[in-house]
Amino acid sequence: MDDYPDYLFAVLHFPRYDKAIQRLNAAELDIFLGPDYLVTIPNVELLPVTRLFRRCEQDEEFRTQLFAKGSGRLLYEVLDDLFDYCFPILDKIGYKLDTLEDDVFEGRSEDIVRDISNAKQEIISYRKIIKPERSTLRLLERHVERFLPEALELYFDDIVDAAERIWDTLDNYKEVVEGLEDTNESVISHRQNNVLRILTVVSVILLRLTLISGIFGMNVHFPGFDTVWAFWTIAGVMLATAVGLIAFFRYKRWL
C-alpha cells in the first residue's frame, strides 16, 4: 500500500478457483481510493466486485445510499464482499479434508494420495495469498481514516478480523492435512508390511518343501525307491512339514 497526498493505492490478492487447471490461484485487485472516488482494477473477474457494482447500476436507491457514505465506506463494502467470498472456499477445503479422513480408514489409502496432495497444494496456495494480506490490511486500516466521513474504524477492524480468522483456519487445515498425510503413509506402510510378511511365510514354507523334494529327487537309491508307497510317504512328510510350519507361525502370531 502506498499513501499519496491525494489518494491511496493498494494491491490486494484474493483466492480464485481456476476451473481450467483445477487449482486455487491468486486474483489481484488494484485499488485507487480518493476523497470522492474509488477505482478497482482486477486482473481477472472477481464475482463479488462485479455483483456489487452491477447492483449499483441497476438499483438507484441502493447506489445513492451506498455512495452517500463516502469512498472509504464503499471500499469497506467491496472488501467485505470479497472476504465473505473467501469463507465458502475454506468450507470446501474443510469438507474435502473430512472426506479424505473417511477414505483413509476405509481402505482407499493408495487411491487418495493424489487427493491429499491436491488438498495440501490448495492450502499452501491459500496461505501464500492471505499471509501478506494481513499486514497490508492493517496498514490500510490506519491510512483510510482520512477518507471516512465518520468514525468507521470498527468496520475495517472487521475486515482485519476476517483475514485473521481465515489465517487461523488455514493453520488448522495445514495441521490436519499433514496429519492425514502421515496417517495415510502409515496405513500404506502397514499394509505393505502385511503383504511382505505373508510372502515371507510362503517363501519359508516353500523353501522347506523344495529342500525335501530336492533331496529325494536326486538320482540315488533310497529305501522304497521307485515305489508308490515311497512317493506317498514323501508327500505326507512334505504336507506335515507345511502344516507344522503354519502352526508354528500361528503360535508366534506371525499369521
Question: What CA dihedral angle connects 127, 130, 136 and 139, to 10 degrees?
Answer: -100
Element (H, E) at 101: helix 71-104
Residue with cell 522304497: 224
Cell readout for 165 is 480468522
Instruction: Tell me the DSSP string of 161-207.
Output: HHHHHHHHHHHHHHHHHHHHHHHHHHHHHHHHHHHHHHHHHHHHHHH
Rounded Cα–Cα distance for residues 158 and 215 (Å) = 85
pLDDT, tens only, 193-236: 888 888 888 888 888 888 888 877 777 777 777 778 878 888 88
Rounded Cα–Cα distance for residues 202 and 248 (Å) = 13
pLDDT, tens only, 63-122: 888 888 888 888 888 998 999 888 998 999 999 898 888 888 776 767 788 888 888 888
- Given the DSSP bridges, would you call strands 23-33 and 8-18 parallel, antiparallel or unpaired? antiparallel
* CATH code reported for the domain at 2-192: 1.20.58.340
Residues 6+ apart with CB under 8 A from 76: 152, 155, 156, 159
CB atoms within 10 A of CB 231: 12
Instruction: Indicate the pTM of the whole model.
Output: 0.74
Confidence of residue 172 (pLDDT cuts 50, 70, 90): very high
- Predicted local confidence at residue 12, as pLDDT: 92
Domain chopping of the chain, boundaries? 2-192, 199-251
3-state secondary structure of 219: coil
The pLDDT > 70 percentage for the chain reads 96
- Predicted local confidence at residue 196, as pLDDT: 86
Question: What CA dihedral angle connects 149, 155, 160 and 164, to 10 degrees?
Answer: 180
